[in-house]
Structure 1
Amino acid sequence: MPSTALAFTLITRPGEARAAFAGLVEREPEALSVVASVTESLVVDPTRFTGPRWWAGRDASGSVVAAFMHTPPHPLHIALATPEQARGLAALLADHGDALPGVGGLRSPAEAFADDWVSRTGASASVVMEVGRFDLPARPRVPFPVPGAFRPATETDSELVEDWHQQFYEAIEGPTARATSLNRHIAQGRVGLWEDDGRAVSMAYASPASGGVTRISGVWTPPPLRGHGYASGVVAALSIARQDAGEACMLYTDLANPTSNAIYQAMGYRRVGDSISIAFTA
């Protein structure tokens, strides 16, 4: 990727953002996974976030080579950029008096953006979370027996799925966070449940595929039911189901959680990159 200066195009309509980044999604589907899925969700439900913005970084030929997204109240998300390009956007936004709660995404450009932002605004920056990006180059396997079996969630599971998704979201984003509905994912067969002894014990869902890649997320087992391998079972089975549908799988994990990282790697997921989340305070 060239490190030359870019022209940044501000986009405020999700349909326009989807079109602007279509080529990047096809070329870099893993890096653009979050931008693609969030943008698509806003096309379907424009009320999901207030004031979403995207910046398309264009090179001298006019081609889009960098992608940034801000969906308040979340930090600015850097999907694809060099550190130099990220610093260019930081300068542009800081000089225009923009307000940002933080920055996240690819580690090197996010750190470069934060350094420039701090030097220009006088804000303080602190690392909130470090995340690993994993892909799945082969069929997954769980290297130990897991009691129970996998099945796709159906409409009758909607209340349970929504409740568990909310619990997952609060655990990640905090107690005031509100998760979006997974009913569309259920209808498309993209939510999986693990059942043991006739009851659901764990769940996960797969984002709509972008560039042929789906992101496994929302892995949740209620605390009293943990320790039996249910999450491993549902992730592996859902991953196989998406592979059988012709999709490649990826996921993100908190690098501060060595247990989940070890489980996914034992399953066959491979760490291929790092992301970071940095908060700004005045």
Structure 2
Amino acid sequence: MPLSSLSFRSTSDPAEATTWFADLVAAEPVRMSVIASVTHGLAGDPGRYEDPRWWAGTDTSGRVVAAFMRTPPFPLHVAVATEPQAAALAERLAEQGFSVPGVGGRRRPVEAFCDAWVRLTGGAARTVMELGVFELPVSPRVPFAVSGHYRQAHEDEQDLVSRWAQDFADAVHDPTATPRPAPRLDSHVAAGRVGFWVDGGTPVSMAYASAANGGVTRVSGVWTPPALRGRGYASGLVAALSGERMEAGERCMLFTDLSNPTSNKIYAAIGYRRIGDDIEVELG
């Protein structure tokens, strides 16, 4: 699409963003998973992030063809966009003097955004994380025995859920960057979307599944305390949680840090298959 035929509109209202992106979520539920789940969460908890903003790229007929989101302190997220569309948003934001400390999403559109941003602002770009995008096309399985069993987290375990969610958030992000708060999982616990692997009567690993949008749920926050790793707990947990969501009629996806061969091996053994790459880039 020529850049001259692309227009942008922006909003800070999650309800309005939900309406704008409904067709894209239905058509591209995996690529739209982050925007869809975060926007859904903000609709119920508007104070979760300060000054959230969404941008929709529209064609000459007014149809939404590109989707972007920023929820500080998280970087700008590129969900659905071609390379020219991502570069066009960079040009618009640079012209407006909008602050963009980082950007993440599918590799090639993000790279196009960064190239335009650096050219226009004279700044620099540094890739801080490379992620694999995985989808589960088969029933999950664990190819070895794991001590313990799966169960959903209980509402009186919210303190442990919150603590482990923050431990995960702290572990997966650059320690030199601005700290990022873990998502609040109260509603996930209440909806039965947070799972524990339990061994000897004690939770030993945790993960959660986002509310399904477009039929897709994203498995996130897979956390086993360091002293309890190497026993297969995360494998048993992710397989069980994924299977539970599939039985509910949902498609499962997840992101992995490509620099962590252990987690990538775990998910592949369960049945997840890599379908794409994301990157996160720091801009300065």
Q: TM-score scaled to structure 1, two decimals?
A: 0.97
Deviation of the 1:61 alpha carbon? 1.4
Distance 1:197 1:253 in 2: 29
Provide, for residues 50-108 of structure 1, a one-character-per-residue CA deviation record: whole Å limited to 9, x for no partner: 11111101011111010000111211100000000001111111111111101110110
Distance 1:197 1:71 in 2: 40
Distance 2:2 2:72 in 1: 28
The residue matched to 1:164 in structure 2 has which SS? helix
Instruction: Judge which range, 46-55 or 113-122, deviates more.
Output: 46-55
Alpha-carbon contact 1:206-1:215 (below 8 Å) kept: yes
Structure-2 residue corresponding to 1:246: 249
Structure-1 residue corresponding to 2:213: 210
Distance 1:97 1:177 in 2: 24
Q: How does 1:1-282 map to 2 (within 5 A)?
A: 2=1, 5-173=5-173, 176-281=179-284
Name the count of aligned residue pairs.
280
The residue matched to 2:94 in structure 1 has which SS? helix
Distance 1:151 1:76 in 2: 35
Residue type matched to 1:268 in 2?
Answer: G
Distance 1:103 1:278 in 2: 5
The residue matched to 2:100 in structure 1 has which SS? coil
Q: Can you give the 5+ residue segments of structure 1 that lack an aligned partner in the other structure?
A: none
The residue matched to 1:242 in structure 2 has which SS? helix
Residue type matched to 1:63 in 2?
Answer: R
Residue type matched to 2:210 in 1?
Answer: S
Distance 2:145 2:2 in 1: 49
Deviation of the 1:173 alpha carbon? 3.3
Deviation of the 1:180 alpha carbon? 2.5
User: What percent identity do the matched residue pairs reach?
Assistant: 57
Distance 1:122 1:195 in 2: 52
Deviation of the 1:159 alpha carbon? 1.5
Could you say what the CA RMSD is over the residues aligned between the two structures, in angstroms?
1.1
